[in-house]
Chain A
């Protein structure tokens, strides 16, 4: 009994330490983004929203944020569509090379992003997409679609394979079966995939760094800013990005697991 409670206590301390380790930098970032002092040092100098005002008054930063939002929205839409389509193909059809097909579509996130970015750079420069927003969207779709595939595939796996033929048998055409059975069943996973891919794209730095040119997304712009100076505005940007991303991921989690009972 005694050793058990000691072990429990130790595990709690360990877990707490782990959480502190992971979240301390983010918390510090948030705290210093409201700190009036120029440099991130203790003691805190006083509360201010000055840095937030500053970043929203910086035209290039706002443009970067707009770019990021547009890219992540478009990426999420296309990647979710493609990911779901691939998951459905995997659910519905048995064909030669199915395993190879799956391996191929889930490959991109396993490739080091530097390699992926370089590949995109040379490919997009030869097809004239380099430095354009559609170019960044294309690259992000390649990187994000496998996440959407994984989420929707998990949901489809819980659908009895005879449900679809049962709908046909009751007079539903293939199209009608898709809209009345498959998509409603997968709706939580499809929305979760949308928010998750939006978050991944919004955060993604390396690929965008290689191919964005003058149409910089927010993370790329932040780096160019940091190269010149260390400004507390970066903390404020961090706060904004963190809130957006964590919001998307939490939404995805809630949608995927919160409605599991249905």
Chain B
């Protein structure tokens, strides 16, 4: 069923001595929606530009259907890019912008006009066809950029943070449209973004990058449930990350020591006594209670801040030895009598809900 379409193998790129992309490898299947996510400077845009042919890799290979792309000029590739700032041709009408790719491929005039009109209609900009691009709003420009890239019906589409310039409402709307388009066309989408919500909302698989290195490649759900290292856990947010070491290994898990506290961890395969590690516990698994019950992992904490994030609440707390603990719960589940700033409470989670990653 799944067919490997694009492969990156040990791809490297250095800018004036600093590695921007450091020997990354991953493959993408036909019709997949891939998000490459990471903080700015992590090499995600450089990776995308190398696929488009706008930067040449210093080492490694990029193969499309098994054939190396590395020697091909950008205009010989079929990988249109939707730019962060749209990069529309400023002196042309919307129609001319959309037709551009077809003109370059020397398609007959009748076909050009029909396809351009079809795509403009499909993206809801048919009425703007004869406007100059300087007269358009951000959302309209976004649609022109998409129509311009899709008009040649490419087998993959590259998106470089295309939603970052839109306001929140429009962004969510465009996310839905992008996803729908991708499903309808079965085109491979490679979407570069720094936004966790964007990539998790749309992608089949997410490539998390940092410092030019791939940290984790998996489905959004798997990354959310099992981040492989401290960076990923912190980048996607909503996690407690405790630093410490394995104090004891038992039949039903390990004992993890952080600061003054010993915590039970259900699953810690591959870790031995004395290993340095990070304990990851999702903030949604941490419950807030009035007193100790003697079960699970319990810490006495003081509530420092309470952030309301729409329908959920994030509570930041600190133990006597300075360890920060975060708990998240639905707004409606919160007991106001118990949870208020300055209150001394007990947090509790089951040992199965924590896991260790290398430090």
Interface residues of A, Cβ cutoff 8 Å to B: 158-160, 162-163, 165-173, 176, 180-181, 184-185, 262
Task: Chain B residues near A165: list those with CB within 8 A.
Answer: 54, 74, 87
A194 to B101, CA, bound (A): 32
B246 to chain A, nearest CB (A): 50
Chain B residues with CB under 8 Å of A167's CB are 89, 100, 104
The 9 sampled A-B contact pairs (Cβ below 8 Å) are: A160-B85, A165-B54, A165-B74, A167-B89, A167-B100, A167-B104, A169-B75, A170-B75, A184-B91
Alpha-carbon distance between A163 and B81 when the two chains are bound, in angstroms = 11
Establish whether residues A173 and B75, one from each chain, have CB atoms under 8 Å apart when the complex forms.
yes
- Nearest-neighbour CB distance to chain B for A220, whole angstroms, equals 42
Most buried by A among B52, B79, B100, B152: B100
Q: Kindly state the separation between the CA atoms of A8 and B305 in the bound complex, as whole angstroms.
A: 61
Q: How large is the interface on B (under 10, 10 to 19, 20 to 34, 35 or more residues)?
A: 20 to 34
> How many A-B pairs with Cβ below 8 Å?
65
A173: chain B residues within 8 A (beta carbon): 73, 75
Contact with A along B84-97 (1 / 0, CB 8 A): 01011111000000
User: What residues of B have a CB within 8 angstroms of the CB of A181 in the complex?
Assistant: 89
Checking A160, A168, A170 against B90 with a beta-carbon cut-off of 8 angstroms, the contacting residue is: A160
Task: Establish whether residues B105 and A262, one from each chain, have CB atoms under 8 Å apart when the complex forms.
Answer: no
- Asked if B238 is at the interface (CB within 8 A of a chain A CB), the reply is no
- The 10 A-B pairs of least Cβ separation, nearest first, read A166-B87, A171-B104, A168-B74, A162-B87, A170-B101, A172-B104, A169-B81, A168-B75, A163-B87, A171-B75
State A168–B148 Cα separation when bound (angstroms).
13
A169 lies within 8 A of B104 (CB) = no
Q: Which residues of A contact B105 (CB under 8 A)?
A: 171
Main SS at interface, chain A: helix
Do B91 and A185 touch across chains, with their CB atoms under 8 A apart?
A: yes
Given known contacts A168-B54, A169-B79, A176-B104, A160 and B91 CB-to-CB distance under 8 angstroms = no
- A171 and B152 within 8 A (CB): yes
A170 touches B149 (CB 8 A): yes
Q: Which residues of B from 65 to 79 have beta carbons under 8 Å from A? A: 73-75, 79
- Name, among A162, A173, A184, the residue most crowded by chain B CB atoms within 10 Å (CB to CB): A162
- Are B81 and A262 closer than 8 Å at their CB atoms? no
B38 within 8 Å of A by Cβ?
no
B103 contact set on A, CB distance < 8 A: 180
Interface residues of B (CB under 8 A from A): 52-54, 73-75, 79-81, 83, 85, 87-91, 100-101, 103-105, 132, 148-149, 152
Would A262 and B104 count as touching, CB distance under 8 A? no
Of A159, A160, A168, which is in contact with the most chain B CB atoms at under 10 Å from its CB?
A168
**CB within 8 A of A169: which of B54, B85, B89, B132?**
B54
Q: How far is the CA of A163 from the CA of B83 in the complex (A)?
A: 9
In the bound complex, CA of A154 to CA of B118 (Å)? 37
Q: Is B90 in contact with A185, judged by CB distance below 8 angstroms?
A: yes
**Chain A residue at minimum C-beta to C-beta distance from B77:** A169
Query: Nearest B residue to A171 by beta-carbon distance?
Result: B104
Given A165-B87, A170-B149, A184-B91: 20 more A-B contacts, CB < 8 Å = A162-B85, A162-B87, A163-B89, A165-B54, A166-B81, A167-B89, A168-B53, A168-B73, A168-B74, A169-B52, A169-B53, A169-B75, A169-B81, A170-B75, A170-B148, A171-B75, A172-B75, A173-B73, A180-B100, A262-B132
Closest chain A residue to B76, Cβ basis = A171
The residues of B that contact A166 with a CB separation of less than 8 Å are 81, 83, 87, 89
Shortest distance from the beta carbon of A166 to any chain B beta carbon, whole Å: 4
* Chain B residue at smallest Cβ distance from A181: B89
CB-CB under 8 A from A262, the residues of chain B are: 91, 132
The reply to whether A169 and B90 contact each other, CB–CB distance below 8 Å, is no
Residues of B within 8 A of A160 (CB): 85, 87, 90
In the complex formed, the residue of B with least CB distance to A173 is B75
Residues of B within 8 A of A169 (CB): 52-54, 74-75, 79-81
